[in-house]
A = this chain, B = another copy of it.
Amino acid sequence: MSPRVGVVGAGQLARMMHQAGIGPGIDVVVLANSEDESAAQVTRHTVLGSPGELGSLRKLAEAVDVVTFDHELVEPEHLHALEAEGHVLRPGPVTLEHAVNKLRQRERFEREGLPLPAWAPASAAPEAAAFAADHGWPVVVKSARGGYDGRGVWICADEAELKSVPWGGVAAGFVVEAFVPIERELAGLAVRRPDGETRVYPVVETVQRDGICQEVIAPARVEASILREAEEITRAVCDAVGSAGILAVELFVAGGRVLINEIAARPHNSGHFSIEGSVTSQFENHLRGTLDWPLGDTGMAAPAAAMVNVLGTADVPEPERLVPGAMGIDGAHVHWYGKGSRAGRKLGHVTATGETAGDALRVARDAAMILGQERRSE
């Protein structure tokens, strides 16, 4: 009997986990709302149901050795219930709660002495205004739960703008943070076994637009001291939240310091480069970590790698038709998720490796352009 990893959710992360599992013979079973979802299109093992329902989660858990996640939109009490029934969740509910709840996360990181922008909990405009009085305007208000890809974040320049925050509408509350003049955005990626053994990937540089990751360059083109600091923070975050499998840390460089922005306790867009760019991809290492198997080498497989996301745009109605053309760019690895196109939706990505970041980026961008993305250059 093959080892079986159940994935809550059936998006592109679950899809790439399945692909990575075929090599070592690990069966990936996905919990999907429908057979059309990205991962359900490619695996034989789909449990139809909703990640929001305990019954569906239980059905998945009963079919596998260990349960992991494509996304974090799961009720914590359901996760505790599954654990109480003896199912193995990796990461577990405590780790996931730290990943989704920015308040708990920041409290925890502060206790561990990990570097964060100045912050405070806030549940109403006057608290945020008081914070701004101490730390200056603008401030960044974030809902403690539920935000991603730029949603759930408000940058407020003054008291008037604080009124646009839906203060009453988010039960978990908010955090307010000092606005940090970002010099560069980085991401740390690490894989951890349940016993604490951790391997960290080279830290990457990310280029965001409108809160959505556009490009990733591996390794990041920053001083060695910054790279080391970012890798140490990534390792410390894994320990602080007790991760199992992949954990990603979005980081800022500001004033020469590395600060934590967000974390995700699962494979992450900033790690897609690893499929071709690393000795062991984040997806294979996630499966290894969740199964408590030996972790794979996180070193680079080439001097540099670049990843460009492919987002849906209104003016390209059937972008899948462009895939063969993009594959005509030598060295471009096109990953297509099988999702219907919608403006701003992540439909796929392109990775290239090279002797330099510039070489890799050129190839990945050329292919992304054929796939309808804007021309970009540095």
- The interface of chain A, by Cβ under 8 A from chain B, is 2, 15-16, 18-19, 22-25, 27, 35, 40-44, 46, 276, 279, 288, 291, 293-294, 296-297, 301-302, 320, 323-325, 327-328, 330-331, 333-338, 348, 353
Contacts and interface: CB of A to CB of B under 8 A. Distances in A.
Contact of A23 (B27, B288, B334): B334
A25 to B, nearest CB: 3
Given A41-B44, A302-B301, A327-B293, A18 B22 contact: yes
Contacts of A291: 324
14 contacts: A15-B22, A18-B22, A19-B23, A23-B334, A24-B323, A25-B336, A40-B44, A43-B43, A44-B46, A276-B301, A279-B330, A296-B330, A297-B331, A301-B302
A317 to B, nearest CB: 14
Contacts of A43: 42-44
A334 B302 CA distance: 20
Contacts of A276: 301
Contact of A325 (B35, B294, B323): B294
B25 A337 contact: yes
Nearest to A339: B25
A336 B301 CA distance: 22
B27 A41 contact: yes
Contacts of A25: 320, 323, 336-338, 348
A215 to B, nearest CB: 19
Contacts of A302: 301
A155 B310 CA distance: 57
Nearest to A347: B25
B336 A24 contact: yes
Contacts of A331: 279, 297
Given A25-B337, A42-B44, A279-B330, 14 more contacts: A18-B22, A19-B22, A19-B23, A22-B42, A23-B336, A24-B323, A24-B335, A25-B336, A25-B348, A35-B44, A43-B43, A291-B324, A293-B327, A296-B327
Contacts of A27: 41
Contacts of A15: 22
Contacts of A348: 25
A324 to B, nearest CB: 4
A58 to B, nearest CB: 23
Contacts of A301: 276, 301-302, 353
A32 B140 CA distance: 57
A371 to B, nearest CB: 11
Contacts of A293: 324, 327-328
**Interchain residue pairs A-B with the least CB separation, the first 9:** A25-B336, A294-B328, A293-B324, A19-B22, A297-B330, A23-B335, A22-B42, A24-B334, A44-B44
A306 to B, nearest CB: 15
**Highest count of chain B CB atoms <10 Å: which of A2, A25, A294, A336:** A25
**Highest count of chain B CB atoms <10 Å: which of A42, A333, A337, A353:** A42
A214 to B, nearest CB: 20
**Highest count of chain B CB atoms <10 Å: which of A19, A23, A46, A353:** A23
Nearest to A296: B327
A200 to B, nearest CB: 15
